[in-house]
Amino acid sequence: MTKRIGGARRKTRHKLAKNVRDKGKISLTRYFQDFKSGDKVCLSAEPSVHGGMYFPRFHGKVGTVVGKQGKCYQVKIKDVQMLKIVLAHPVHLKKV
């Protein structure tokens, strides 16, 4: 068996980096925002919060909230032709 090199944040230096003006503490309203099933959301990662982050391939995609699983939301997105369900913490979601 070969050993896998890197993890989910591999090769994401620019994609998961903050602007200089955006650095610092995140707002609590964004951390505790609430969504209902059927809401349209955009996947935009908050790099300072590692928990509940989706795979970086889905960065910038728009999907619909299907349900809730613990603190995270289930978001249905279309990846090329397949429909996929991604788990994401509300910090990493923006309402469209």
Positive/negative CA dihedral, 53, 54, 56, 58: negative
The amino acid at 71: K
Domain assignment present for 70:
yes
Percentage above 90 pLDDT, the chain: 76
Task: Find the CATH number of the domain harbouring 91.
Answer: 2.30.30.70
Q: Indicate whether 92 pLDDT > 90.
A: yes
What pLDDT, on the 0 to 100 scale, is given for residue 8? 83
Domain assignment present for 47:
yes
Domain assignment present for 46:
yes
Domain assignment present for 41:
yes
Residue 27 structure tokens: 């707002």
Q: Which tens digits make up the pLDDT trace of 58-83? A: 999 999 999 999 999 999 999 999 99
Q: Rounded to an integer, what distance in angstroms lies between the CA atom of residue 78 and that of residue 73? A: 16
Structural domain harbouring 58: 35-95
Domain assignment present for 11:
no
pTM of the model: 0.88
Tally the domains of the chain.
1
